[in-house]
Amino acid sequence: MNMFGERIRTIRESKGLLLRQVAAHLEIDTALISKIERGERRLNREQVVKLSSFFKVSEEELLTLWVTERIINVIVNEPFAIQGIEKAKEILKVTQYEN
């Protein structure tokens, strides 16, 4: 699953940007941004925030996709993944009210 990389490519292409322009802004190698778009590598949170600013798109949108892929990559082969997600949602709701 490569929702994040596909979205990055779509945004980049819609803005007429080259891989090297995005890579230069993130201060990474052009080959790395290509791998990110193909789902072979991942950005860190700071880079995702920087990218959303560069693209002038919602930080929430990109971070949500980024977090989603991180979760899926950890639990993809777990037989109780859905149950675990539901339990995590309950805990997160309680934790958010406490803070």
pLDDT band with cut points at 50, 70 and 90 for residue 94:
confident
Nearest Cα neighbor of 51 from 14, 18, 12 is 12
Residue that the structure tokens 């993809």 belong to: 76
Please say whether the beta carbons of 47 and 33 come within 8 A. no
The domain ranges of the chain are: 3-98
Count of beta carbons in the 10 Å neighbourhood of residue 65: 18
* pLDDT for 32 beyond 80: yes
Give me the CATH topology for the region 3-98.
Answer: 434 Repressor (Amino-terminal Domain) (1.10.260)
Cα–Cα distance, 3 to 74 (Å, whole number) = 15
Cα–Cα distance, 74 to 1 (Å, whole number) = 12
66-85: per-residue pLDDT in tens? 999 999 999 999 999 999 99
